[in-house]
Amino acid sequence: MITSRQDLDRVRATVSEALGRQKARVLICAGTGCVANGSLKVYQRFVEVLKARGLYTDVDLLLQHEGDGTTVAKSGCHGFCQMGPLVRIEPHEFFYTKVRPDDVTEIVEHTLEQGEVIERLLYTDPVTNEKAVSEDSIPFYKYQNRVALANCGRLDPEDIREYIVHDGYQAIARALTLSPEEVISMVKESGLRGRGGGGFPAARKWELAREAEGAIKYIICNGDEGDPGAFMDRSVMEGDPHRVVEGMMIAGYAVGASEGYCYVRAEYPLAVSRLRKAVAEAEARGLLGDSILGSGFSFRIRIKEGAGAFVCGEETALMASIEGKRGMPNPRPPYPATRGLWGKPTVINNVETLANVPAIVLKGGDWFRSYGTPTSPGTKTFALAGHVANTGLVEVPMGLPLRDIIFKIGGGIRGGREFKAVQIGGPSGGCLCTEHLDLPLDYDSLKKVGAMVGSGGLVVMDDSTCMVEVAQFFMNFAQNESCGKCVPCREGTKQMLAVLQRITAGQGQPGDVALLEELAEVVRDGSLCGLGKTAPNPILTTLKYFRHEYEAHVREKRCPANACEALKSYSVDPEKCKGCTLCARVCPVGAITGERGQPHTIDASKCIKCNACVEKCRFGAIRTN
Amino acid sequence: MMAKLTIDGQTIEINSEKNVLELVRKLGINLPTFCYHSELSVYGACRLCMVEEEKMGLIAACSTPPQDGMVIRTNTNRTRRLRRTVIELLLANHHRDCTTCEKNEACKLQSLAHQLGVRKVRFGERTEILPIDNSSPAVVRDPNKCILCGDCVRMCSEIQGIGVLNFANRGAKTTVAPAFNKQLSEVDCVNCGQCVAVCPTGALTVRSETEIVWNALHDPTKTVIAQVAPAVRVALSEEFGGQPGELVTGRLVAGLRRLGFAKVFDTTFTADLTAVEETDEFLARLAKGERLPQFTSCCPGWVKFCEQYYPELLPNVSTCKSPQQMFGSVAKRFYSRQLGVEPKDLFVVSIMPCTAKKFEARRPEFAYQGIREVDAVISTTELALLLKQDGIVFNELEDEAFDTPLGLTSGAGVLFGVTGGVAEAALRAASGALGVNLDKVEFHEVRGFEGIRSAAVRLGDAELKVAVVNGLGNARELIEKIKRGEVHYDLIEVMACPGGCVGGGGQPYPNDSQTRQARAKGLYRRDKMTQFRRPQDNLAVQQVYEKWLDGRHSQTAHDALHTSYRPRRRIDGSEIVLNGARSDAQPVEVAVCVGTGCYLRGSYDVLAQFTQLSLSDELAGRVNLKATFCLEHCDKGASLKVGDRIVTGVTPENAAQVFHKEVASLFQK
C-alpha cells in the first residue's frame, strides 16, 4: 500500500533499481494496430526463446534479486502503425519494424546476445533509402514532441510499477501539497485548451465547476473518440492508462470532486480493459480511494462503456448516456460545470487534455507554453491518414505548419502524386487546400479558414480525389450518426446527402449547388449541438475552395478528378490501340468489339464501368473521360 | 434596478421568466414552436423559436435564460430562412396526404407552413411508408406523420409517469414507438390520449367511431340515444370558432337531435348518481375504518393505471362504475323497458372529452345480457365532425333542453369535468347525507390546477382528509408517499389528465393548460347557475332509486352500479421456453411469471429452482418450463401456471415444495 509520498518514492526507487539491473529490454507494441498485425505472437515467441536460453527475467524476479537477463514487455502504441508489429530494444534503442515471430530467434541471437543490429528489420526512408537504427532518427518521429504520448511505447501499460518509475503519480503527489486554487492557476498559466474539439480553456471549466455550489461534483473523462480514422485517445488509454487516471485525480482535486467517470467507446475493448486494470491496480495500492497519499483527498473512478453512438462524444449526450438515458444532447445552458451529471457540477475533459495535466503539474505552465503558439500552447496529437507515405499517430507542437506534418513527418504524398487537400478535424472539420499548406495548425488559425482542430484527424488527399465525393463521405457519416433530435441536423443532413448523391451520380440539377450551400448554412445556424452545427463544415469548405468541382459535376456532368464512377465514360483511343483484343476478352459484359489488329470500340450502353479494360490494356489506350 | 431586455424594439422587465421565449410571448409576439410546452421539460429540438441576439447571434429562445441588456430580434432574414427551411425539411419527410388527413385544418405543421410562406418543398418526398398502428381502441399512431418533436414522449413520461412512447433508432431513421416496437394495445398505455392532446400533426389521433354512430343512426331497428359528458359543453364551440369555456349546452342538444338521436341525455345525471353511490360507499368504509383511503373510480385512465401498477391498491378503489357506465347500465337495464325497446336495440352513444372512455366501454365486464352497456364513444372533436358532415350550422342552432329523466342534473355532477370536481361532489353529498355544514356547498379548498392538492375538511365532528390528484405522474408520486407512510388520506380523487376531463385527450386542439383553465371556469359558472347543488337533491336521481333500483343500498342498485377490478399485465410478450419437453412425452406446461411484480417477489429464484428440479432424471423431458411475463395475479405473486391452473404465493423458500406438490406429483399417479 502506498499511503504517503515517501511510500511512493520508495516504490519508485526500488523498482527503478531493479529494472536497472536488467541487461536488456524488449518492448513489443501491443496497441490495437500491432496486435491486429500479430504482435502478441511475436511477444509469445520472445518469451519462449528467451526462456529456452535462460535469458528471460521479469520485474518480479528482478525485485527479488533473481535473474538479471532480458525483460519482455507489451507496450502501448508507438503511432507508426503501418510499420507494425514494432519492437523496441533497450538499451540499444534499436527500432525494428514489421517483425514476424520467425524473426525472433535471430533478434535474440544477434541483437540481444551480441548487440548487433539487424539491418533488414530497420525502417528504410522511402525518399533517401537510408536505414534508421533508432526511432529518433526516423523522420516520422524526428519532428515530433511527445507529451501526452511520452510513455506510449516506452512502458508496460499493465504494470503500475513501470508508470511509477516514469514519474507516475508524482504529479498528484505534488498537487496535493498545493491548494486546489493553486492547481487551477497552474493549469491556467499553461494555457491548456480542450483537446477534444472546441478548444475551451481547461482551467476555466475547472474554475466554473469549483465555484459551482454543491457538495457532490464529478469529473468525466471523455474517451468516446468517434471520428473516422482518429485514434489519439485510444492510444493514450491503451498505452498509458495511469496517466489518464492521474489526470482525472488532479482534476478531481482541483474541482472538489471525489468521483470520476471515464467514458470509453465499447469499440475500444483494449482501452477498456487496460483502464479497468489501471484503476484496480491504483485502488489496490491505495492510490485511488480514501485519503490518497494521506492527504484527506478521496477519489474513485468508474469506467463506463459507451454503446457506439458518435453523438455521445458531445458532453450533454455523454452525460445522458452515463445516466442510462438515450444518448441525445440537451440544450446548453445549463452548462455541465453548473448542472451536469445527475444534475451536479461536472467537468468533462477529453482524454488527451487530461493526459497533459500531470506533465503540467510536474513541469509547470511555462514549460508547457514553451511548445506551441501563445494562444494555443502545448502539443497536439494528430492521426495522420490518407495518401501520405507515412501514416500513424503524431504529436507535434501546436502551430506547426501543415506542410511540415504532411511532407516532413508524413513523407509527402504517396506514389509521387500531387497534394490536393486535407480534411482536418474529422467529419466536423473542414477541407483545406494547397493555399493552406503554410497555415499554422492551431485553434484560431484553423477556425479562421472554416476548419477546426477537432479531435485531430488529418486525412490527406491527392489529386485523384473528388472533393464532392469527400463531402458526401463525411455527410453520410454525419447523417448516420445524427441522434435524430433536432430538425436541422436530422432532416438537413439527410437532404444534403441526397443532393450530394445526386451530384456525384451525374444527376445534379441547376441550382443544386446553391441549395446545398443554403441548407448547409441553415444546419450550421440552427442545430442544437456541436455535431449538427459542424456537420456542414466539409460541404462549406469544399464549396469555398473547390466550388468549380461541384459546378463541373452539375453543369458538365464531369468529375475533374475522374473519380465519380457514374461520370466516367470509357472509350478507346484509336491512336494508341493496337487491336490486341485483350480488353474485349476481359470485358465481362461484352461491351468491347473490334477486329484483331484494328482499334476497338466500347459500347457505352453495355459498359458497366468496372475498369477491367483499363487495368488490362498494356498501351494505355482506354480513356476514362 | 430591474433587469431588462429588448425584444423587437420593445423593452421588457425580466421577472421570474425562465427563458427568452416566455418574454417574447408576453409581448404578444407569437413565436412558433413545436416542442415547447410550459408544463413539459425544455427539449429544444424544433429550432423554430430561434431568434437573433445582438452579441450571441442565433439562439433558441426556449432554452436561453434571459439576461439583462439582451437585444433580441425575432424576425430577421436569418431567422425567417431558418424557420422556413425547418418546415420545408419536416414537410419533405412527412406523409403529405393533408386533404384526407384526420388532422386536416387542425394541424400545426400545415398552419405554420402556410403562415411562414412555405410554398414549395425543394427536397424529395417521403418514400418509406411505415405501418399505421390502429390496435388501440383510443389512439391511432401514424409514424409517417411524426415530426419527432417529442411532445408525446415527454407528456407520457413526465406528466403521466408511464413512458409508453420513446425514441427508437438514430439519425434519419429515428421513430417514436412503444417498447420493442410493439403495438399500443400490447403495452401499458392507459388510453388517456394526452399524447394526442399535444401532438401537433396527424401522427397521433383519436380512434374514430363516427362511422359506427352514422350506421346506428341510419339503422331503422335501433333506437339511438346520447349521453353527453360535462366537459364537452365547454369545449365544443372551439371547433366552431368559439372560445374555450363557452357553454353551448343548448345548441349541443339541438345538434344531437338534428343528427337523429332519439333522446339526448346528460352524463351529468349519472355523475350525480355516482356521487351519491360513491359517498354512501365512502361513509360506510369510514364508519368501519376499512379500505381507506378510498380512491375515486370515474377515470378509466386511472383505473387501468392502478390495475397495472398498483394491484395491491385495487381494494381501495371505489367499486362504483363511472358515470358513463352507470348511464349505460341504467339505460340498458331499466330505461329500455320504459321505452319498450329491447336492450339490444337500444344503442347508447357517449360523447366524451376522453379517449380512455372508448377503452372503458369495451371492457367485457361492462355488459348486460351479453350486450355492451355503451355501444359507441365519440370524442368532442368527433361530434363536431358529425355535425359538420350533416351540414348543421352549429352557430345558428336554437338552444334546446336535455330529455327527461336522465337529463336532469345538479351542479355537483357538472363538476365531474374538472379536477377536484368529483371530490367536491362527494363532499357536497357527504355533508347532505350527514346533515352537517348545510350552509356550505362550495368547497374551494379542493379546487385549483396544481398537480397534487390536499385539504382537511370538517364535516360535523369528523375531519376528512381529502387529496386531489391530476396527472398520473402525480398519482404515482402521491401513492409512493402514502406507501412510505408519509401522508394519510381518507378520500383521494384521481383524474389522469392534467386539469381533469376538460383537458381530456378527445378535446379540440389546441388543448393547452390555458385552454383547459378557461373550460374549467365554464363548468364552475354552470354549477353556480343550477337550482340544485348537491347530487342527492337531483329529483331524477331520487326517482331512479325509487322506481328502478329498489332504493339506496339495495342489491339491485349494487348489481347495476358497481364493478370490480383485476391486476392487469403491462406488456404482451410471448413466453420464453427454458426446458423444452420431448415430443413423445405427454408434457406438463409450467409457466413462471417474471413480470415486475413477481420478479420483485423473487420469481427469478423460483424459476432457477424449477429449472434445476425439472431436469431431474424422472422428469427430464416431461416438463415444458417457460418464463412468462404476466399472469395478472400481481397482488398475490409470485405466480406460476401449471397447465391451466394458477398457483400464487410462491416464494424462493417454498419453491421446491410447490414444485413437488404441483408438478412432480402429476407424474407419480
Query: What is the average pLDDT score of chain B?
Result: 94
The predicted structure's pLDDT at residue B583? 66
Query: Among all chains, which residue has been given the C-alpha cell 406438463?
Result: B588
* 3-state DSSP assignment of residue A302: strand
pLDDT of res. A320: 95
Average pLDDT, stretch A311-334? Answer: 93
Residue A129 has pLDDT above 70, yes or no: yes
Give B58 to chain A, closest Cα distance, Å: 7
Using a CB–CB cutoff of 8 Å, tell me whether A522 touches chain B: yes
**CB B45 to CB A485 under 8 A?**
yes
Chain-chain contact of B92 with A495 (C-beta, under 8 angstroms): yes
Contact A494, B172 (CB under 8 A): yes
Q: What is the mean pLDDT of residues A386-412?
A: 93
Query: Could you tell me which chain B residue has the CA closest to the CA of A479?
Result: B171
Of A481, A487, A495, the CB nearest to B45: A487
Query: Residue A494 and residue B86: Cβ atoms within 8 Å?
Result: no
Contact A440, A373 (CB under 8 A): yes
Q: What is the DSSP string of B242-282?
A: --TT---HHHHHHHHHHHT-SEEEEHHHHHHHHHHHHHHHH
CB nearest to A333's CB, from B50, B65, B172: B65
The CA distance from A86 to A74, in Å, is 11
- Active-site residue numbers of B? 278, 281, 298, 318, 357, 360, 365, 501
> What's the rounded Cα separation, in Å, for the pair A181 and A190?
14
Report pLDDT for B38.
86
Task: Test B93 with A481 for CB contact under 8 angstroms.
Answer: no
How many residue contacts between A and B have a Cβ separation below 8 Å?
103
Shortest alpha-carbon distance between residue A518 and chain B (Å): 9
Chain A residues close to B150, C-beta within 8 Å:
485
Q: Which of B42, B62, B84, B123 to mutate to test the interface with A (most CBs of A within 10 A)?
A: B123
Per-residue pLDDT, averaged over B579-585, amounts to 70
Q: What percent of chain A has pLDDT over 90?
A: 80
In angstroms, the CA A324 to CA A320 distance is 6
Inter-chain CB proximity A527 and B47 less than 8 Å: yes
With beta carbons less than 8 A apart as the criterion, state whether A176 and A253 touch: yes
Start-to-end Cα distance in chain B: 91
pLDDT tens, A508-527? 999 999 999 999 999 999 99
In a mutagenesis test of the B interface, which of A522, A527, A531 is the best target, namely the one with the most B β-carbons within 10 Å? Answer: A522
Q: Which pLDDT does position A227 carry in this prediction?
A: 86
Tell me what pLDDT residue B570 has.
86
- The mean-pLDDT minimum among A520-524, B276-280, B458-462 falls in B458-462
ipTM of the complex model? 0.89
Mean pLDDT of B120-148: 94
pTM over 0.80: yes
Please tell me the distance in Å from A305's CA to the nearest CA on chain B.
19
| Chain B touched by A554 (CB under 8 Å) | no
pLDDT tens for each residue of B175-184: 999 998 999 9
Residue A97 to chain B, least CA–CA distance (Å): 42
Alpha-carbon distance of B23 to B49, in angstroms, equals 12
pLDDT tier, A287 (very low <50, low <70, confident <90, very high otherwise): very high
Distance between CA atoms of residues B236 and B527, nearest Å: 18
With CB atoms and an 8 Å threshold, state whether A522 touches B85: yes
User: Closest residue of B to A328, CA-based?
Assistant: B170
What gap in Å lies between CA B327 and CA B146, rounded to an integer? 37
Q: Which chain A residues contact residue B148 at CB under 8 A? A: 484-485, 487, 490
- pLDDT above 90 (res B42): yes
Number of H helices, E strands in chain A: 26, 20
Residue A127 is predicted with a pLDDT of 76
Contact status, residue B60 vs residue B50, Cβ threshold 8 Å: yes
The yes-or-no verdict on residue A186 having pLDDT over 70 is: yes
Whether the CB-CB separation of B388 and B497 falls below 8 Å is answered with no
Residues of B in contact with A498 (CB under 8 A): 123-124
Residue A488: which of A455, A534, A454, A450 has the closest Cα?
A534
B90 and A487 in contact by Cβ < 8 A? yes
The pLDDT value given to residue A619: 92
Q: How far is A312 from chain B (nearest CA, A)?
A: 12
Q: Give the β-pairing of A87-90 and A70-75.
A: unpaired
Judged by CB atoms closer than 8 Å, whether chains meet at B172 and A331 is answered as no
Q: Give the mean model confidence (pLDDT) for residues A326-334.
A: 92
Nearest Cβ partner of A490 from B43, B63, B171?
B171
How many CB atoms are closer than 10 A to CB A58?
A: 18
The reply to whether A518 touches chain B by the CB within 8 Å rule is yes
DSSP A341: G
A488 touches chain B (CB under 8 A): yes
- Interface check for A5 against chain B (CB to CB < 8 A): the answer is no
User: Which amino acid, B189?
Assistant: C
Q: How far is CA A219 from the centre of its chain?
A: 23
- Residue B322 has a CB neighbour count (10 Å cut-off) of 29
Residue B556 has pLDDT above 70, yes or no: yes
**Chain B CB contacts of A330 below 8 Å:** 44
- Which residue of chain B comes nearest to A533, CA vs CA? B58
Strands (DSSP E) along B213-370, which ranges? 223-228, 263-266, 294-295, 346-352, 367-368
CB contact under 8 A, B89 and A495: yes
What is the Cα–Cα distance from A44 to A72, expressed in whole angstroms? 9
Interface of A with B in 152-211 (CB under 8 A): none
Sorted by sequence, the CB contacts under 8 Å of residue B200 that are 6+ apart come out as B34, B107, B108, B109, B147, B149, B151
Q: Which residues of A touch B62 (CB under 8 A)?
A: 331
* Residue B542 pLDDT > 70: yes
Which residues of B fall within a CB distance of 8 Å from A500?
Answer: none
Q: What pLDDT is stored for residue B199 in this prediction?
A: 95
Percent above pLDDT 70 for chain A: 100
Q: Which of residues 466-485 of A touch B (CB under 8 A)?
A: 479-485
The H-or-E segment that residue B204 falls in is strand B204-206
Q: How many CB atoms lie within 10 A of CB A42?
A: 28
The per-residue pLDDT for range A472-505, each reduced to its tens digit, is 999 999 999 999 999 999 999 999 999 999 999 9
CA distances from B315 to B296, B320, B601 (A): 12, 12, 20
pLDDT of residue B488: 95
Residue of A nearest to B174 (CA): A484
pLDDT for the residue A228: 83
Report chain B residues whose CB lies below 8 A from the CB of A488. 47, 82, 85-86, 89
Quick one: pLDDT at residue B669? 57
Tens digits of residue pLDDT in A447-466? 898 888 887 889 999 999 99
Other C-beta atoms closer than 10 Å to the C-beta of A330 total 23
A42 interfacial to chain B (CB closer than 8 Å):
no
Instruction: Supply the pLDDT for residue A237.
Output: 96
Q: What pairs with residue B495 in β-bridges?
A: B470
**Residue in A326, A494, A526 nearest the CB of B172:** A494
CB contact under 8 A, A486 and B167: no
The Cα B468–Cα A382 span in angstroms is: 62
- Residues A370-380: tens digit of each pLDDT: 999 999 999 99
Please give, rounded to a whole number of angstroms, the shortest distance from the CA of B115 to a CA of chain A: 19
Cβ-based neighbour number of residue A615 at 10 Å: 10
* A452 CB-side CA count, 13 A: 23
C-beta separation of B198 from B155 below 8 A: yes
Q: A554 to chain B nearest CA, in Å?
A: 17
Of A304-313, B114-123, B446-455, the least confident: A304-313
* Cβ within 8 Å, pair A486-B46: yes
Q: What does the pLDDT read at residue B385?
A: 95
Is it the case that residue A602 has pLDDT exceeding 60?
yes
